[in-house]
A and B are shown apart, each in its own frame.
Chain A
């Protein structure tokens, strides 16, 4: 187990290193941040001064080494645009993104599992067919377009929901969250639905497929033969065994959801780190882009690791080998 964890962490470190070089070089190649940062009236001397202040006058490899050096002590450079530490900017916006991603995941899970199990157990009925047709539509609909249509219907036409922003936040355990106030829910509902939709479709399909498999297992037949009530058979014997794959996939998809929040946040002007990434890309704010990537890679690795470990706990048949 320990070997497994160490191997994973080493792999993650390697990925982060490779990625940071690629991004560093890539962004260096596309453009000069100075052209955006310095005002058009700035003299040559002003420009040189800005370049020196940001370390942009040195050769690329020196900039990169300086970046790596400070990265090891937790310094990821200052944002060119905001003038604040890049990592601080990301961390400041992280709760908003995580709040959105978790709300969407829980929504997708709570709606997807019952629908999927129902569709699996009663797969001949019209209701089940409708659920499955809906799920195909669910992951075929372009996510960002769904967001726009929700804004159009609920914010513009009906005026029920706000079209953008996060609304008031309440501090819980030192973190600013909006899900604890009615107003906050008003704001989070549309983006969370947008984000949850395709995951919900995925969970429905997965839950249905596993339910159909589990249904035929001997222990389910045995439970029925014992004369257990249908509720107990489904609620305990079937549901418990479905949870392993469904929970695994839901967990793994959390990473994708955080990445996808970039789009949802842009549409709904949700002040999370995804929106910061898009803004930073358009402004060539290199330190913020690199810091974002490092945070996300770290989160992805952590999520994968936790899911793998949980999986081996939930399902005793799985052994995490140090070998291939």
Chain B
């Protein structure tokens, strides 16, 4: 994520109303913080990122270290104690892995895939959309036709077929997600850029004799960012869900790097015999992360939407 958000806010020419002395970023934060629910969502999201980053240090067990696993510990219900006196707070899976540890590691992969895929999709989509809006003509028609056709297909289907062709792997899941998601950003960026294109600062930049790429990237792009950030936030949730779904079908991440979706799939085999925790807890974790992101995205949409400005 950092690679995308870092260059964004800096060059934005702030059309601050004369009365307000606060910077735009501060204003956005103040308005965002007015909603307690959104703050709660943000806190949850940051917490889950923190948990994912710190997973190797805070988990009771390294779920990938086969030496620490004991098959005797497999499918223990939540709260039971393992052979080497480890408490399985959320139970253990088919291989005797501590579910809590496996989930935190899974969260790492889920979040990584979601954030990287959205960042790449945003970058590609933004450039394509802004180029389409600014250059117009055939470039515009071509890009938007591709976007239209792609958006008329359900994302899940495109990703499914792509992964069937590409095979398993974290990198391949990211490719598939970027492929299905860049179009949303391209469309939004084009819409925003069409409005911005006719504003005076763009004309001023053009009069200064600046080169096209510079106008596109340094002047138009930053001003299209609010719209893209809103979509981007919600899209992280969508990407994570999609990844989980694909992994559940066995077409996503490989077995060696189980994401939350993969963990749920693993539990599916035991579900019918009443072993519920292997599927249930990763699903709850997944839901919490997605709800948190959606709450933040919902609020951001309200705050950054110029039409709703009070």
Interface string of A132-171 (1 = CB under 8 A from B): 0000110111111100110110011100000100000000
Selected contact of B149 from candidates A11, A30, A152, A289, CB within 8 Å: A11
Judge whether A81 is part of the interface by a CB distance below 8 angstroms. Answer: no
Question: Once bound together, how far apart are the Cα atoms of A296 and B154, in whole Å?
Answer: 10
B51 CB contacts on chain A under 8 angstroms: none
- Are A263 and B271 touching (Cβ within 8 A)? no
- Are B290 and A293 touching (Cβ within 8 A)? no
Selected contact of A293 from candidates B161, B249, B279, CB within 8 Å: B161
- Are B291 and A145 touching (Cβ within 8 A)? no
Q: How far is the CB of B106 from chain A (nearest CB, A)?
A: 13
Interface string of B127-162 (1 = CB under 8 A from A): 000000000000000000000010011101100110
Judge whether A55 is part of the interface by a CB distance below 8 angstroms. Answer: no
- Give the size of the chain B interface in residues (CB under 8 angstroms): 38
Question: Once bound together, how far apart are the Cα atoms of A23 and B154, in whole Å?
Answer: 16
Question: Once bound together, how far apart are the Cα atoms of A11 and B244, in whole Å?
Answer: 32
Judge whether B298 is part of the interface by a CB distance below 8 angstroms. Answer: yes
Question: Once bound together, how far apart are the Cα atoms of A14 and B161, in whole Å?
Answer: 18
Known interface pairs A145-B264, A148-B268; A304-B152 also in contact (CB < 8 Å) = yes
Judge whether B294 is part of the interface by a CB distance below 8 angstroms. Answer: yes
Judge whether B280 is part of the interface by a CB distance below 8 angstroms. Answer: yes
Interface string of B273-292 (1 = CB under 8 A from A): 01010011001001100110
- Are B280 and A152 touching (Cβ within 8 A)? yes
Interface string of A279-298 (1 = CB under 8 A from B): 00110000001000100110
Question: Once bound together, how far apart are the Cα atoms of A148 and B264, in whole Å?
Answer: 9
Judge whether A209 is part of the interface by a CB distance below 8 angstroms. Answer: no
Q: How far is the CB of A11 from chain B (nearest CB, A)?
A: 7
Near B by CB (< 8 A), chain A positions 1-28 give 11, 15, 22-23, 26-27
Q: How far is the CB of B67 from chain A (nearest CB, A)?
A: 31
How many Cβ-Cβ contacts under 8 Å join chain A to chain B?
A: 110
Known interface pairs A136-B291, A141-B287, A142-B244; A152-B279 also in contact (CB < 8 Å) = yes
Selected contact of B157 from candidates A140, A142, A145, A262, CB within 8 Å: A262
Near B by CB (< 8 A), chain A positions 291-310 give 293, 296-297, 300-301, 304
- Are A255 and B245 touching (Cβ within 8 A)? no
Question: Once bound together, how far apart are the Cα atoms of A50 and B157, in whole Å?
Answer: 31
Question: Once bound together, how far apart are the Cα atoms of A304 and B279, in whole Å?
Answer: 37
B280 CB contacts on chain A under 8 angstroms: 149, 152
Judge whether B101 is part of the interface by a CB distance below 8 angstroms. Answer: no
- Are B279 and A26 touching (Cβ within 8 A)? no
Judge whether B7 is part of the interface by a CB distance below 8 angstroms. Answer: no
- Are A149 and B283 touching (Cβ within 8 A)? yes
Chain A residue with the shortest CB-CB distance to B240:
A142
Judge whether B237 is part of the interface by a CB distance below 8 angstroms. Answer: yes
- Are B245 and A282 touching (Cβ within 8 A)? no
Question: Once bound together, how far apart are the Cα atoms of A143 and B290, in whole Å?
Answer: 12
- Are A266 and B249 touching (Cβ within 8 A)? yes
Judge whether A42 is part of the interface by a CB distance below 8 angstroms. Answer: no
Known interface pairs A148-B268, A163-B272, A262-B160; A142-B165 also in contact (CB < 8 Å) = no
Judge whether A278 is part of the interface by a CB distance below 8 angstroms. Answer: yes
- Are A136 and B298 touching (Cβ within 8 A)? yes
Chain B residue with the shortest CB-CB distance to A155:
B272
Known interface pairs A260-B156, A296-B157, A300-B153; A145-B287 also in contact (CB < 8 Å) = yes
Judge whether A259 is part of the interface by a CB distance below 8 angstroms. Answer: yes
Question: Once bound together, how far apart are the Cα atoms of A297 and B283, in whole Å?
Answer: 32
Q: How far is the CB of B273 from chain A (nearest CB, A)?
A: 8
Judge whether B167 is part of the interface by a CB distance below 8 angstroms. Answer: yes
Chain B residue with the shortest CB-CB distance to A146:
B283
A300 CB contacts on chain B under 8 angstroms: 152-154
Judge whether B92 is part of the interface by a CB distance below 8 angstroms. Answer: no
Q: How far is the CB of B204 from chain A (nearest CB, A)?
A: 30
A277 CB contacts on chain B under 8 angstroms: 160
- Are A262 and B286 touching (Cβ within 8 A)? no
Chain A residue with the shortest CB-CB distance to B294:
A140
Q: How far is the CB of B233 from chain A (nearest CB, A)?
A: 13
Question: Once bound together, how far apart are the Cα atoms of A234 and B273, in whole Å?
Answer: 49
Known interface pairs A151-B271, A156-B271; A263-B283 also in contact (CB < 8 Å) = no
B181 CB contacts on chain A under 8 angstroms: none
- Are A156 and B274 touching (Cβ within 8 A)? yes
Interface string of B169-201 (1 = CB under 8 A from A): 000000000000000000000000000000000
Judge whether A127 is part of the interface by a CB distance below 8 angstroms. Answer: no
Judge whether A29 is part of the interface by a CB distance below 8 angstroms. Answer: yes
Interface string of A171-196 (1 = CB under 8 A from B): 00000000000000000000000000
B237 CB contacts on chain A under 8 angstroms: 140
- Are A148 and B271 touching (Cβ within 8 A)? yes
Near A by CB (< 8 A), chain B positions 61-118 give none
Q: A interface vs B, CB < 8 Å?
A: 11, 15, 22-23, 26-27, 29-30, 136-137, 139-145, 148-149, 151-152, 155-157, 163, 255-256, 259-260, 262-263, 266-267, 277-278, 281-282, 289, 293, 296-297, 300-301, 304
A-B contact pairs, 14 of them (CB 8 A): A27-B164, A27-B165, A30-B166, A136-B291, A136-B294, A136-B298, A142-B244, A142-B264, A142-B287, A144-B248, A144-B264, A263-B249, A267-B268, A281-B164
Nearest first, the 5 A-B pairs at minimum CB distance are: A26-B165, A259-B154, A145-B283, A259-B157, A256-B154
Q: B interface vs A, CB < 8 Å?
A: 149, 152-154, 156-157, 160-161, 164-167, 237, 241, 244-245, 248-251, 261, 264, 267-268, 271-272, 274, 276, 279-280, 283, 286-287, 290-291, 294-295, 298
